Structure 1
Amino acid sequence: ERFGVLAGLPWNTPRAAVEEIERVRKLKACGAVLYSHIGGKPVDDASFEPVYDRAEELEMPIVLHPTVPTWGEAVKDHSMITMMALQVDTSFALLRLILGGILERHPDLRVVMPHAGGVLPYMMGRIEHQTEVMGRGREHISRSVAYYLKQVFFDVVSPSKQALEFVYEFHGPERLLFGTDHPWVSPRIFMDLLDSMDIPEGEKGWIFGKNAIDLFGLEF
């Protein structure tokens, strides 16, 4: 009773994915996993729209997770896939959810982005200049990219105090979730980093537990 589960869905067969999301919701699954691409299909492919519809209706959080990028051949050496490519690929996936209009059409869809938002928080100046000033990539959105990004939850899996301080200032404590990437990174690293930051105790409570309890509907 101390564990919650995230469901894997057969995204490559969207009708079956809808049926599965209904089944696992009845089994009290906390959320569902969405990989950064589905067999090479981008996450904003029109075939996945019914799955997002049902997830929104059932208040089922969608947790983004990296998989080997379709462009993995370019970064196959020097451990660059695990070092950086996975985080970049999930960043592309989240940007597609935004620019493809998924979050526009599903304003109540709850999405979790791993690795402290990937590269998006650091690229927002360029992204916003492209969309707001140059008018690029706005075919499916009516608001700024930053507006949709603020709807998304980030975990704190970035073992760098400077990075976490930036994400805390950029995103605020209300949508940050404690995470560790265990066993690849020791949980103690993130506990110590957060404790070393100038964060009010009440807000630390949100990050360490309350936000996840509310998001996933956890019961103790």
Structure 2
Amino acid sequence: MATPTVDVHVHVLLPEVEALVDGLPGLAEARALDARRDGAAALAVSGLMVRNRIPRLTDPAVRLAAMDAQGVDLQLVSPSPSHYHYWADEDTAEKVYRLANEATANHCAAAPDRLRGLGLVPLQHPEQVTPALDHALEHGLAGVEISSPAPGRDLSDPAYEPFWAQAAKTGAIVFLHPFGCTLDERLDRCYLSNTVGQPTENAVALSHLIFSGVLDRHPDLKLIAAHGGGYLPTHIGRSDHSWSARSDASSGCLRPPSSYLRQIYFDSLVHDPDVLRELVRVVGSERVLLGSDFPFDMGTEDPVAALRAARLPEAECDAVRGGNAATLLHLALALALALALALALALALALA
């Protein structure tokens, strides 16, 4: 079989989730914080951009037509990061993750051979995170999507240890996709909250996971970092130097930080063919996956063309285009099971 083209960084908008939280205490405060961090100009542009893309974000038929135009065979669909709602209390948070998981699963059920889904977990309530992951898996999702920090906690917080253990045990995918930036008003103009903030948040979150030993304790974790991992892969030498030069930097992890990059998957969305080639060189072609950020404006309309612009060797290009994701998502096994089910159904109908 030819290698499928698999896009691992795409989003779905879930109106059900937004209807659930509308008017609840805490939402207005959270939106005010986002407004201060992003700036009024960014919010105005983003609002129009999202409204123009609602059909692609909500209608499976429109999504599939766009995939056909892009030459994408399968998408790994994650909720829009605007659905994290890490401000929510325990009762609301449980309702949000259950509704998000179920709605994402329903969206993907429109074309199960072409859409796989990721759910959400409420990082602000660590005791709920593992049950939320289990809930996502029970609904046929491949894993969950998380942001870089939760209020008052980084991903290295010991409270998340049961979550990392369960994700590694079950083989669940954890998609690290920051939303917003904790540098606050320093980036509130010219869309710096995204162009600078997102790569910064990726680098900080991954560094916490590396330096704290999370990846030592859970080497089988299937972690995908959005935006090519941000600044970390191309500046990992500084991390290695600190690990070798300072006792406080080397106390938490067993090996040089650069060695852990080959335990992480990275999407290809770096917007520069030279940077993509460097990402492949640093982490290995087997650790890079095609990503587009479909259908938002900070993504790419043609992820395959963006990949080919890097002029990788054909075998490496095919691996990034879909071979790696096919292995990660067990697509061959899923296809075999689907064929077996179809044959069994056909046989049952013939004998009826």
Distance of 1:70 and 1:172 partners within structure 2: 30
Q: Which has the higher contact order (CA 8 A, sep 6+)?
A: 2
- Offset of 1:187 from its aligned partner? 3.1
Distance of 2:276 and 2:227 partners within structure 1: 10
Identity of aligned residues (%): 26
Q: Cα RMSD over matched residues?
A: 1.5
- Offset of 1:15 from its aligned partner? 2.5
- Which residue is equivalent to 2:123? 11
Matched, 1:186 2:312: no
Alignment of 1:190-209 (within 5 A): 190-209=303-322
- Which residue is equivalent to 1:212? 325
- Which residue is equivalent to 1:173? 285
Shifted more, 21-30 versus 57-66: the winner is: 21-30
Contact 2:118 2:136 in 1 (8 A): no
Structure 1: runs of 5 or more not aligned: none
Alignment of 1:127-142 (within 5 A): 127-142=239-254
- Which residue is equivalent to 1:123? 235
Distance of 1:122 and 1:196 partners within structure 2: 19
1:45-96: per-residue Cα shift (whole Å, max 9, x none)? 1111111111111111111011222222221122110111111011100100
- Return the structure number with greater helix share: 2
Contact 2:229 2:266 in 1 (8 A): yes
Structure 2: runs of 5 or more not aligned: 1-111, 336-352
TM-score by length of 2: 0.59
1:127-183: per-residue Cα shift (whole Å, max 9, x none)? 111111334411211111011121100100011111112112222210100001122
Contact 1:40 1:70 in 2 (8 A): no
- Structure 1 outlier segments of 4+, above 4 Å: none
- Which residue is equivalent to 1:99? 211
Alpha-carbon spacing, 1:75–1:4, altered in 2? closer, same or farther (3 Å): same
1:2-51: per-residue Cα shift (whole Å, max 9, x none)? 21111101222222221121122122211211210012311111111111
Alignment of 1:137-176 (within 5 A): 137-176=249-288
Alpha-carbon spacing, 1:76–1:143, altered in 2? closer, same or farther (3 Å): same
For residue 211 of structure 1, what is the amino acid of its counterpart?
A: N
- Which residue is equivalent to 2:175? 63
Figure out how many residues of one structure are paired with residues of the other and give that number.
Answer: 219
